[in-house]
């Protein structure tokens, strides 16, 4: 790349005002720019850096502060890129450091100080109070666990019941009523209960009654009458009983009358009582009695001993069993009545017996009983779990008794209040500790940042600088303290005695030349920059108030730089150099000398770019006539610019300085030059304050053209028209009209 294009339109101040009137400006590899202070040199340098930093290694020297930093505490100076900013930053950070340390001291006092009201004391007090209550609760829990473990008859806990078990069950504590306690004790003492259900086939008691009554209403009609019976049932029964008692053999004696019973008597009675009707009725009676007996047997086959249900169901079982027993008695009584009637009928076969008029009983209903049996059976299968639950409930009841005796709710509230108080102080304490740690971290970070900002000793660079200064100044750079600090002082030998000058003892010119030489040294250092990419080197007013020796040294060093002999610093084939100054002497002497041409007819104005920045315009200088040769030329150039923009008051100042310089160089007397012309005296006599004040007090009505014509006339009156025209840079025709 042989040329840079800098976009000037991108520059705008925060209020929208644009400093430069050009849209862009071109730069060759070497560029020399003259501009008064305030005309935009630094702004132009910033534009170059912002537009080309991505692809170029942009280095900017903008005076002492960009390289040299003053350390007031050490009374020494640092040399580094941005050393001035670094030292200012160090000073600022050291102030921050002291502030942080002061805050840290305050925080430490708040945390832990001899003052009894500090946070650590409050925390210790709150912690102690909490611990005392906690110890009381711990002892209570330990003692209570022992009491519960030793409680027997019944045993209400496991044999390995300890303090932590008790703590876990405090929330389950519950007071029981006396009857609940007894019930649960019974559950614990309960053995296995196997109560069986009762299976029962329903009975038609009404059918039993009807069948019996039918038999009672039946009788045997006599088909062979025995007269001696006289139809009397008692006699018939007596005869039948006798027939059954005696042997049916010859010579059988009657037990009643003592007479021999005849064979024909036995035959007669057997024929009477074996008649079909009698046999049939007897059989009916016998069948009826068997059925009644079977019913009685079924009823009596039930185990009517009261079954042992679990205590939880015993009360209900007793009620149900009482009802069943009552029903059993009714049924047994009913059966007895039937049996009595049938027995009676059996004795009175030949007469109708009175029927039974009683209401038959209800049949057994074992459903409620069997349901309870099922519940009891299920309970039996869950007995271990029930016992475990009973044990738990009894234990929870005991825990509640112990809690009430200890007044646990009151102590627990005290504990919660103590915890809250301790946590509040702890939170404040932790917050302060966190703040302390944060401040300490900030302090360490500030130390680290200060350490990074502190310059590092550069032996080779300082030796090179001393070499350049040797013979120009009577002093040399020496390390302050030791070679590790990176801070320097000036060593000077006076009458054989070595003295040291601190940073406060150095003149601005001395500081500037040290800073500039260091900047030049660092141009060859690419280790910390980006290697193998071209550089743009910008000097923003590299020389200010230096004495002539320093000016010569700086100009010589810049000549050496752009000559291209030190390619590691400046390669004129790929790097770009921009030197900007407001110093006319420096501007005239720093570029290549003379107006010679090379073999191709090229001058320095062809090979380099020269610009003057005037009132926001980049004016390109293309030949020697357009350029300044002396400070005097610069005054004439300035006058033309002011005239172009109608700055009449400023024009007068420039005119007075031109006249003063002209008079000094020509040796003409001032009164002869002004020729006692009142108009000239009022406008141009710089030594006449009366004239200036008088002129300033009057209404000034001359415009720029009129003022230039007057200025031209004073030179013409002194026969110096050619001198005027040789230096005037404005419109020459307008002057003569």
Burial 364-391 (b: 16+ CB within 10 A, else e): bebeebbebbebbeebbeebeebbeebb
* Distance, C-alpha 701 to centroid of its chain: 74
Q: Are 68 and 83 in contact (CB under 8 A)?
A: yes
Q: Burial, 104: exposed, middle or buried (Cβ in 10 Å; 0-12, 13-18, 19+)?
A: middle
SS3 content of the chain, % helix, strand, coil (to 5): 55, 10, 35
3-class secondary structure, 571: coil
**Segments of the chain with pLDDT less than 70:** 14, 66-84, 114-116, 221-227, 229-233, 236, 239-241, 243, 250, 263-276, 451, 454-457, 481-485, 526-531, 544-549, 594-595, 685-701, 734, 736-737
Closest listed residue to residue 348, CA positions, set 272, 282, 290: 282
Q: Are 453 and 90 in contact (CB under 8 A)?
A: yes
Tokens of 439: 């401040």
| C-alpha–C-alpha distance, residues 376 and 191, integer Å | 12
Closest listed residue to residue 609, CA positions, set 4, 1, 27: 27
What pLDDT is stored for residue 677 in this prediction?
79
Q: How many CA atoms lie within 13 A of 178 on its CB side?
A: 0
Burial 575-597 (b: 16+ CB within 10 A, else e): bbbbbbbbbbebbbbbbbeeeee
What pLDDT is stored for residue 282 in this prediction?
84
What pLDDT is stored for residue 542 in this prediction?
87
What pLDDT is stored for residue 667 in this prediction?
78
Tokens of 590: 């720093």
Tokens of 620: 């390109």
What is the number of H-type helices and E-type strands within the chain?
26, 13
| C-alpha–C-alpha distance, residues 483 and 457, integer Å | 6
Closest listed residue to residue 508, CA positions, set 468, 478, 550: 550
Tokens of 607: 């090979």
| C-alpha–C-alpha distance, residues 456 and 488, integer Å | 11
């Amino acid at each position: 790349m042989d040329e840079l294009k800098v976009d000037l339109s991108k520059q705008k101040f925060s209020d929208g005002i644009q400093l430069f009137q050009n849209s862009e400006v071109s730069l060759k590899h070497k560029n020399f720019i003259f501009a008064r202070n305030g005309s935009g040199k630094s702004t132009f340098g910033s534009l170059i850096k912002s537009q080309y930093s991505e692809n170029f290694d942009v280095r900017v020297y903008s005076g002492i502060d960009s390289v040299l930093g003053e350390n007031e505490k050490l009374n020494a100076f640092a040399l580094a890129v941005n050393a001035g900013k670094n030292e200012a930053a160090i000073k600022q950070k050291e102030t921050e450091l002291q502030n942080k340390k002061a805050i840290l001291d305050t925080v430490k006092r708040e945390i832990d100080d001899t003052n009894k009201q500090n946070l650590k004391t409050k925390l210790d007090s709150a912690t102690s109070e909490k611990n005392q209550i906690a110890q009381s609760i711990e002892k209570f829990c330990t003692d209570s666990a022992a009491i519960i473990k030793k409680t027997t008859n019944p045993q209400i806990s496991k044999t390995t019941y300890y303090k932590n078990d008790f703590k876990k069950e405090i929330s389950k504590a519950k007071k029981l009523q006396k009857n609940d306690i007894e019930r649960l004790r019974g559950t614990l003492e309960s053995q296995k209960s196997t109560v069986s259900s009762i299976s029962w086939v329903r009975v038609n008691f009404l059918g039993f009654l009807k069948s019996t009554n039918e038999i009672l209403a039946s009788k045997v009609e006599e088909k062979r009458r025995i007269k001696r019976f006289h139809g009397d049932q008692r006699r018939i029964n007596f005869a039948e009983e006798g027939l059954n008692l005696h042997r049916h053999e010859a010579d059988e004696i009657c037990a009643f009358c003592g007479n021999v019973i005849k064979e024909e008597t036995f035959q007669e009675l057997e024929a009477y009582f074996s008649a079909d009707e009698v046999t049939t009725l007897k059989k009916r009676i016998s069948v009826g009695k068997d059925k009644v007996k079977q019913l009685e047997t079924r009823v009596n086959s039930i185990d009517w001993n009261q079954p042992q249900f679990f205590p939880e169901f015993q009360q209900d079982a007793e009620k149900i069993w009482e009802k069943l027993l009552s029903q059993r008695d009714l049924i047994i009584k009913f059966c007895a009545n039937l049996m009595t009637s049938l027995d009676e009928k059996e004795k009175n076969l030949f007469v109708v017996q009175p029927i039974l008029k009683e209401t038959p009983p209800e049949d057994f209903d074992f459903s409620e009983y069997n349901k309870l049996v099922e519940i009891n059976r299920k309970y039996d299968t869950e007995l271990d779990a029930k016992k475990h639950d009973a044990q738990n409930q009894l234990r929870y009841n005991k825990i509640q008794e112990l809690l009430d005796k200890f007044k646990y709710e009151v102590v627990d509230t005290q504990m919660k209040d103590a915890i809250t108080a301790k946590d509040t102080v702890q939170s404040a304490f932790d917050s302060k500790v966190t703040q302390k740690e944060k401040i300490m971290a900030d302090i360490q970070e500030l130390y680290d940042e200060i350490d990074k900002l502190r310059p590092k000793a550069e032996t080779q660079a300082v030796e090179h600088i001393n070499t350049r200064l040797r013979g120009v100044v009577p002093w040399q750079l020496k390390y302050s303290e030791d070679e590790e600090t990176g801070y320097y002082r000036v060593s000077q030998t006076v009458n054989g005695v070595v003295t040291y000058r601190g940073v406060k003892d150095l003149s601005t010119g001395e500081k500037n030349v040290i800073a500039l030489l260091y900047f030049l040294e660092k141009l060859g250092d690419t280790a910390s920059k980006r290697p193998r990419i071209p550089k743009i080197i910008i000097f923003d007013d590299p020389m200010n108030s230096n004495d002539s020796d320093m000016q010569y040294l700086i100009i010589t060093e810049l000549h050496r730089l752009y000559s291209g002999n030190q390619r590691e610093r400046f390669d004129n084939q790929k790097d770009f150099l921009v030197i900007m100054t407001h110093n006319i002497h420096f501007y005239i002497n720093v570029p290549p000398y003379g107006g010679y041409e090379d073999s191709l007819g090229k001058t320095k104005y062809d090979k380099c770019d020269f610009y003057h920045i005037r009132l926001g315009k980049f004016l390109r200088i293309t030949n020697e006539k357009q350029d300044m040769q002396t400070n005097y030329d610069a005054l004439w150039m300035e006058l033309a610019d002011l005239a172009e923009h109608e700055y009449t008051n400023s024009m007068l100042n420039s005119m007075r300085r031109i006249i003063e310089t002209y008079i000094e160089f020509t040796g003409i007397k001032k009164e002869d030059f002004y020729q006692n012309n009142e108009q000239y005296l009022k406008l141009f006599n710089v030594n006449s304050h009366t004239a200036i004040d008088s002129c300033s007090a009057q209404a000034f009505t001359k415009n720029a053209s009129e003022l230039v014509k007057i200025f031209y006339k004073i030179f013409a009156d002194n026969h110096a028209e050619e001198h005027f025209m040789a230096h005037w840079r404005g419109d020459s025709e307008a002057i003569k009209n």
